[in-house]
Structure 1
Amino acid sequence: MTDPFCGLLIEKLPNLRRYALSLCRSGDQADDLVQSTVERALKARSSFDPASKIEAWLFRILRNAWIDILRKNKVRGHELEYDDAPEIADNVCHQGDARLMVSSVMAAVEQLPDGQREVLLLVSVEGLSYAEVAEILEVPMGTIMSRLCRARRALASKMGLSSE
């Protein structure tokens, strides 16, 4: 018989990885961040309220782990892997229109300020409510709505879809 808590945790791993990728923009670093989140969740499982959504609880743990990493990096400095350097030329001639659109949308999302990008992805991709995102980020719900509005406007502008 399997542990229900571990089953829920395993079920949410893809969501955690997506969120981790949106924060650190590196596959290897995202995997490390998810692993750290799972370790912290297992250690703190007694503090999880089964009546609440595990996803919001896990996202908060992941975000706090990310903040810890950022603090360490401020002291240590930014490290860049040679393989992570962006390519100078992108061979897009053979890609389909849909792939180009996704690529350009993701590039535009990457240019958003961290707070806006984070809120946009948690609401739009992860499907969390404004209240859940406010709880995860520990900010008022009005701040979430404001950041989301600015993120959507900036994204529309970058994609040439704004009417302004």
Structure 2
Amino acid sequence: MKTPAPETFEGQILALLPSLRRYSRSLTRSDAEGEDLLQDCVEKVLARRSQWRGLNLRGWALTIMTNLYRNARRPGPRSMTVDLDTAENIASPETPSDPLERARLEDALNSLSEENRAVLMLVVIEGYTYSEVAAALDIPIGTVMSRLSRARQRVAERMKADNVITLRRPK
């Protein structure tokens, strides 16, 4: 299979995949659900290519992903799940270099509300500007700044609170 040229629409989408993957996993808090969201997003982006106005492809794709995630979270019929006993060939994730630190960070990120986590991931991890995040999430810039501030503070508090204190012998 031939890789699309970087200047083509498909090439630009291909270049966005790592960023979209990180964002989808941060929204869903799950690698598997994040991959499903990513696939749904890319499918919708490619199907609606004619609706793209030629300006900010990254922002457009993030908006589609955010809306797909929000729509999936609405009350209604749930997606079918597969019993773990019937699943075969489940891939195991790589072992992180420091499992305790990673678990603490995941716990801190998962303690955030969906709105605060989305803003934190887009600004801090993906490097989007406040105005790009505001446009993608359809919220005012001031809301982006306040959500980001609260998210950073909450993560710092959780990381500090869960910090492991080494035991020392009394002198």
TM-score (norm 2): 0.76
Alignment of 1:10-159 (within 5 A): 10-50=14-54, 52-71=55-74, 74-77=75-78, 98-159=98-159
Task: Give how far 1:140 is off.
Answer: 0.2
User: What's the CA shift string for 1:53-95, capped at 9, x where partnerless?
Assistant: 3211111011111112112xx2125876665xxxxxxxxxxx8
| SS of aligned partner of 2:76 | helix
State how far apart, in whole Å, the 1-side matches of 2:150 and 2:100 are. 24
User: What's the CA shift string for 1:109-128, capped at 9, x where partnerless?
Assistant: 11111111111011000000
State how far apart, in whole Å, the 1-side matches of 2:123 and 2:63 are. 14
- Number of equivalent positions: 147
Q: Which amino acid aligns with 1:75?
A: G
1:92 maps to which residue? none
Task: Give how far 1:37 is off.
Answer: 0.8
Instruction: Pick closer, same or farther for the CA change 1:38–1:128 going to 2, 3 Å.
Output: same
Task: Give how far 1:46 is off.
Answer: 2.0
| SS of aligned partner of 1:75 | coil
| SS of aligned partner of 2:160 | coil
Q: Which amino acid aligns with 1:121?
A: M
State how far apart, in whole Å, the 1-side matches of 2:26 and 2:83 are. 20
Q: 5+ residue gaps in structure 1? A: 84-94
Q: 5+ residue gaps in structure 2? A: 85-95, 162-171
Q: Which of 2, 9, 13 is residue 9 of structure 1 equivalent to?
A: 13
Task: Give how far 1:106 is off.
Answer: 2.1
State how far apart, in whole Å, the 2-side matches of 1:115 and 1:33 are. 17
